[in-house]
Amino acid sequence: MNKDNRIVITGIGLTAPNGNNLAEFRENLIQAKSGITLEEIRYMGKHPAGLCDFDEFKYQKKKTRRRGTRAGSVAIYAANEAIVDSGIDFDSLDKDRVGTYLGITEHGNVETEEEIFLLHQNNLDTTFWSHHHNPRTVANSPAGEVNLNLKITGPHYTIGSACAGGNMGLIQGVQQLMLDEVDFVLAGGVSESAQTFGIFAAFAAQGALASHEDPTRASRPLDVDRNGIVISEGGCIYTLERRDAAVARGAKIYGEITGYAVNTDATDFVLPNTDRQTQCIEKALKKANITKDQIDIVNMHATGTNAGDINELAAVKNVFNDCDDTFVNFTKGHIGHCMGAAGALELAGNLPSFKDGIIHPGINCENLDPECEMKNLVLNEAKKKEKVDYILNNSFGMLGINSSVIIKKHI
């Protein structure tokens, strides 16, 4: 068993509705720039949505893209960008000792919907059903496409964990490094949700699909006039390494993952449970071996639904309400809900705070819901903090899965 259990982040690759790399993404968060646009959704008409505009062919050929998936193309782009950002000599690595762990919400919906659409356009002739359908829709496809692209022969799998997926990918990567199963990890989350009409129809049926005459203001977490989720796609993948290996090669280090926790509400399919979310945060603090007042930034999951925002805010208050120097922000006002990628993207947006001390705001909260009031909410304008040493990132999902991850500034 490897003795070094300190795991650090050395590279970040991402694509989001408002940026295709960390610098661009971060600047748009600070400047309160939304990436949400009004899009035509098949069978649904026009709705606010978050689409990514990255070069799908920067790291893969068009033939491979035709065989693969949108989620796979997001993952391939983000994974390659993360490796470049890490500065590692990837060709020299033992590819048997590289692991790929990606959180997802659902996978295969885009491809299945497209096949069914073509079927109905061609008198239900099943010969139009693609022979690529099976590998496109297996749950491990996004991670598997990364390994095919990068010739990685180590383990790959996805972690189906609803909207906690981004955090869960990171947690899995940390655990596999600590168990000495691998030496280098690609971990995070991806989602192609905005490419499928089914998820729009489902949230509309729940009365939880956001609407606004200005699509950039449709996602309004904590606002009294919020009316639901803006569905987005995206991806964020990190390179993780043991600290001793990263230091030995002179890698830049974004932060050290010191705490995490996962639990389950076990109370409802979709409605959150404040007590279990509180417990999840407290367990992460315990694993990190720090006190609550040491946390400088809490990034809320904050979907923009009434029950989601109110219950989570109550959980955050349960833990941090008496912490005078702990500040709270959220990200979905800028980018909507990127589902399986949400947690990983939202953490990435805060990591530069270790260096610049700037806390990006949560935007579009013009009339704070009285049930979401809390001191030190960072709303609509960025805030400067003298020192940022610890960040806590919350990601929660359907079927009651809760996750919290704590990152420490590397010194």
Quick one: tokens of 71? Answer: 């989620």
CA distance 131 to 50: 30
Quick one: tokens of 114? Answer: 């497209």
At 411 the pLDDT is: 87
State the 10-residue block means of pLDDT for the chain, 411 residues long: 80 98 98 98 96 98 93 98 98 98 92 88 87 90 98 98 97 98 98 95 95 98 98 98 98 98 97 97 98 98 97 98 98 98 98 98 98 97 98 97 98 87
Whole-model pTM: value is 0.97
CA distance 41 to 38: 9
- Residue 362 φ/ψ region, left for φ over 0, alpha for ψ in the -120 to 50 degree band, beta for the rest: beta
235-274 burial, b for 16+ CB within 10 Å, e for fewer?
bbbbbbbbbebbeeeebebbbbbbbbbbbebeeeeeebbb
At 1 the pLDDT is: 42
At 182 the pLDDT is: 98
Sorted by where each starts, the structural domains of the chain and their CATH numbers stand as 7-248 (3.40.47.10), 259-408 (3.40.47.10)
In DSSP notation, 221-284 reads: TTBTT---BPEE-EEEEEEEEEHHHHHHTT----EEEEEEEEEE--S-SSS--HHHHHHHHHHH
Quick one: tokens of 247? Answer: 């230091």
At 129 the pLDDT is: 87
CA distance 327 to 391: 10
Residue among 3, 322, 374 nearest 180 (CA): 3
At 3 the pLDDT is: 61
CA distance 247 to 236: 23
CA distance 198 to 192: 12
CA distance 401 to 395: 9
At 107 the pLDDT is: 87
At 217 the pLDDT is: 98
Helices (H), 16-88: 22-30, 62-67, 70-86
